[in-house]
Structure 1
Amino acid sequence: MSARSVILLGSTGSIGTQAVDVISRNRERFTVRGLSAGGGDLGLLARQAAALQVEMVAVADPGAAPALRDALERAGVRPDVEVLVGPSAATELAGAGADVVLNGITGSVGLGPTVAALRAGSTLALANKESLVVGGPLVHAARVRADQIVPVDSEHSAIAQCLRGGARAEVRRLVLTASGGPFRGWTHDEVKSVTPQQALAHPTWSMGPVVTVNSSTLMNKGLELIEAHLLFDVPVEDITVVVHPQSVVHSMVEFVDGSTIAQASPPDMRLPIALGLSWPERVAEAASACDWTQAATWTFAPLDEEVFGAVRLAREAVAASATHPAVYNAANEECVAAFLAGRIGFLDIVSTVERVLGEHGGTARGGLGLADVLEAETWARARAQEILARR
C-alpha cells in the first residue's frame, strides 16, 4: 500500500501538532507535501517542515516571508522548498492536489482552503467546522464526489463511525454529546462574572483559545449541530444535544428500531485525526482505548438551554435563512475576541449573537454565492462591533 500524500493546514495549532504526531508515528502510511500556519510560531513551523521534509510551506502573515525563510534555513529545510505567503497562501496550498488535505485552521477563514481542496479532488479531513457552517451550500457544490469530506471533530467522527451500523433510511436521530464545559451546572447569576481565565480552563480537552471559549459558552456545540445537519443531511430537529461530562462517548446514532450505537474512547483527538487521514481504514495504536477492566461511571443529562442558549440560536439560524449560520459564526468570533480582551462579559457573547441574528434580513437558499456569504459575514462583524462598543 503506497503512502497517502497529505497537506496540513494549521499545522502549528492544536489539531495540526497532533496530526504531525500521528503522521510521525506512521511514516509508512503518510507523506506530507505541505504545511500552512498563521505565522505566530515560525520556529515550530520550520521544525515541522524539516522533520517531515515537505515541498511547500504557507504562512498567512504577508510580512512573514523574510523571517520564515530565515527560520527554514536555520532548521535545515531544503533550499528548494516553495514558500507561499499572504491571505490566500493556505487556499493555494490546499488546491495543490494531495490525496488528503487536513483543514485544522480556526475560524471562517478556512472556507477558501476547504473549497480549494474539494475542487482539487482531495479528500478533505475537516476540523474547520466554521467553513462548513458559513458556506455549507458552497462547500457541497465544490465536491467532486459524495464521500469527499471526512469529519475530524470528535463528535462528527463518532457519528460517521456509528452510521456504518445501519442504512441512512434507518436513522431516527443523531445524539451529540457535550462535556458541558467548565460551567456545567452553574446558574445564570453564577456565570455573569466568569473571567477569560476561567473560560479557558476546560475540564477535559486541550484546545486553542477561541475553541475553548466556544466550548464554555456551548457555542461550539451550536456550530457542531449545524455541521452535523450539513454533513449528514439530518434535520436539526432530529439532532439532540446531551451533556456527558466524562467525554468518553463522543456521540451516538439512534435507529428506528430503538437501537442506539455509540462510539466510545478516552478523550484524545489523535483518534479522529488518524481516521480523517486514513478513512475508511483505521490506524493501529492511534490513541489509547478504554480500560474495560476498571470500574467507571458515565452520566448523561439534558442541556440547560436557559443558561446556555447557543444551541437554541443555532437551530434558529438554520431555520431562518442560508446566511444566518454565517452571521451566527461571524458575530460570535467578534464577541469572543472582545471577551478575551476583557472588553465584555461572558453573557454578552451569546446575547450579542442573538441580537445580531435577529437583525439580519437573510438570503434565500437558492443560488447562494460566495459574495452573499462574505457580505453577510462583513455585516455581522460590523454590527457586532457596534453593539459591543456601546456596552
Structure 2
Amino acid sequence: MTRSLTILGATGSIGRSTADVVLAHRDEFRVEAVVGGRNALALAEVARRLGARFAALADEGGAATLQQALSGTGIESGAGQSAVLEAVEREADIILAAISGTAGLVPTYAALKPGRRIALANKESLVCAGDAFMTDARRLNVEIMPVDSEHNALEHALAAGLNRDVEKAVITASGGPFRTWSRQRISSASAKEASAHPVWSMGSKINIDSATLMNKGLELIEAHHLFGLGAERLDVLVHPEAIVHGLVQWTDGAVTAGLALPDMKVPIANALRGDRRLRMELPRLDLAAIGRLSFERPDDDRFPCLALAKAALRAGGAIPTVLNAANEIAVEAYMAGSIGFYDIPETVERVCSTFSGRQISTPATVAEALAIDREARQTACRLIPAPVEAVQVR
C-alpha cells in the first residue's frame, strides 16, 4: 500500500537522506509536500525529484524564485509561515520532521494529527516542550518514531524487555573533532575546526553541538521523553567508531545494543517502514573487518556542555527549554566569531542560573515553551559581547 509523506526540512542532510530512501522505494511512497528554509532552488530541485504536490519555503522573500523554479511542473508552492503550516495540514500518513532547532517546534507540533506517524528528527520539539508534545501525541494516537540513530538504536534495544527492568540506557557519541585535543587547544579552536565532524555530515550548528557534546545532552533529554526514563537511568559513552549507537543494560546484567554503520538512511528507513522493513542497498556491517570497537567516558572538564544538559534534565521544569535557547544563541555567536569555544558553556550556565531560582513550571503548551525560549534568548544576548542583531532572537 502506498503511503503519503511530507518532509519538513527537505533541503537539509536528513531531508536529502530521506529523499534517497524514498527514491529507492518509489512504489511505497507518495510525497505530498516538502518544506525548506531559505534555499528556494534547492527546495525546487528536491520537489521535482520526489514528485511532490506542494513545496513550501519558510523565507517569504524566496516566493518568486521558488514559483519560477517550479514553473511548468504542476507543483504548487508557497512561502512564509502560513505556507509551512499549509504543508503540515495537507493529508499525509507520515511527517518526517527534520527542521533544525527551535524553528522546527511549531510545525512539528502542528503535525500532530490523529492516526499520523511522526518520524522525529527535530529533538528541540522534545527538549523545549516534551511534556506538552508527548501528552498530545498520546491523546491523538500519534506514533512517534525516532530518526536520530541513537534513539532508533534504543528503540530496538528496549524492545527486548520492559522499561521497569531497564537499569541504564546509554547513547553513544563519536567524541567530535576535539575528542583527543587538550582543553588548552580546544579553547582556541575556530568554528571551522569545530564544524569538521569526523563521522557524520550534518549542518554547522549540529556539528558544533557535537564538538561541545551538547548534542548528546539534548539527546538525553529527548530520550527521557521518548522512552519515559529518568535522568538516573540515562547516560552517554564516547565511541569513536560510531557503530554501536545505543545500548540497554538490564537488571539481570544482560546488555542489548543497536549496531549499524554510520549512515542516516538506516534509521530513516526504519522510521518510515510499514508492516515490514524497507530493504536498503547499503554496505553491510562487517565486525570482523572493523576488528575493534572502543569506548570511553566523556570528559566533563573538556566538554562541560554535557554536564550542563544532564543538570537541566535533573532540574526539569523550564530549565531544558532555557538550556536549548541559550545554547542556540551562544553557538550562533561562536559561529559569528563573537565568542570563544568555552564561552558557549559559560553563557549557557549563566542563563540557566538566572532562571533556576525562579522555579518556572514545565511548559504545558508550545506557546508557553516559546515564551520561555524567547526570554532565555534575550538573556543570553545580553551576555554576548556583540551586537544583538548578530545573534538573532526569534
TM-score surpassing 0.5? Answer: yes
Moved over 3 A (4+): 144-147
- Give the CA deviation at 1:153: 0.3
CA contact (8 A) 1:181 1:218 kept: yes
Partner of 2:382: 386
Partner of 2:353: 358
CA contact (8 A) 1:322 1:368 kept: no
Partner of 1:58: 56
**CA deviation profile, 1:20-77 (whole Å, cap 9, x unmatched):** 011001111111110000022x22211221222211111100121111100111xx42
Kindly, what percent of the aligned residue pairs are identical? 40
Partner of 1:20: 19
- Among 78, 93, 96, the alignment partner of 2:90 is 96
CA contact (8 A) 1:109 1:131 kept: no
**CA deviation profile, 1:147-200 (whole Å, cap 9, x unmatched):** 610000000000001112112222211011111101113232221101011001
RMSD: 1.7
- Among 372, 375, 379, the alignment partner of 1:376 is 372
Partner of 2:118: 124
Q: Secondary structure at 1:7's aligned position in 2?
A: strand
Determine the C-alpha separation between the residues in 1 that align with 2:274 and 2:174. 26
Cα 1:119–1:363 change in 2 (3 A) is farther
CA contact (8 A) 2:213 2:305 kept: yes
**CA deviation profile, 1:356-389 (whole Å, cap 9, x unmatched):** 0010134223x72333212211111111111012
Cα 1:218–1:292 change in 2 (3 A) is closer
Partner of 2:77: 83
Whether 1:207 and 2:202 are equivalent positions in the alignment is: yes
Aligned residues: 384
Q: TM-score, normalised by structure 2?
A: 0.93
Determine the C-alpha separation between the residues in 2 that align with 1:246 and 1:192. 25
One-letter amino acid matched to 1:27:
R
Partner of 2:303: 308
Bigger CA drift: 272-281 or 249-258? 272-281
Partner of 1:345: 340
Determine the C-alpha separation between the residues in 1 that align with 2:150 and 2:156. 10
- Give the CA deviation at 1:114: 1.6
Q: Secondary structure at 2:70's aligned position in 1?
A: helix
Q: Secondary structure at 1:119's aligned position in 2?
A: coil
Unpaired stretches in structure 1, ≥5 consecutive residues = none
Determine the C-alpha separation between the residues in 2 that align with 1:166 and 1:332. 35
One-letter amino acid matched to 1:87:
Q
**CA deviation profile, 1:249-288 (whole Å, cap 9, x unmatched):** 0110111111111111111000001111115632112532
Determine the C-alpha separation between the residues in 2 that align with 1:31 and 1:118. 19
Q: Secondary structure at 1:118's aligned position in 2?
A: coil
CA contact (8 A) 1:19 1:270 kept: yes
Bigger CA drift: 59-68 or 7-16? 59-68
Unpaired stretches in structure 2, ≥5 consecutive residues = 388-394
One-letter amino acid matched to 2:68:
D
CA contact (8 A) 2:128 2:369 kept: yes
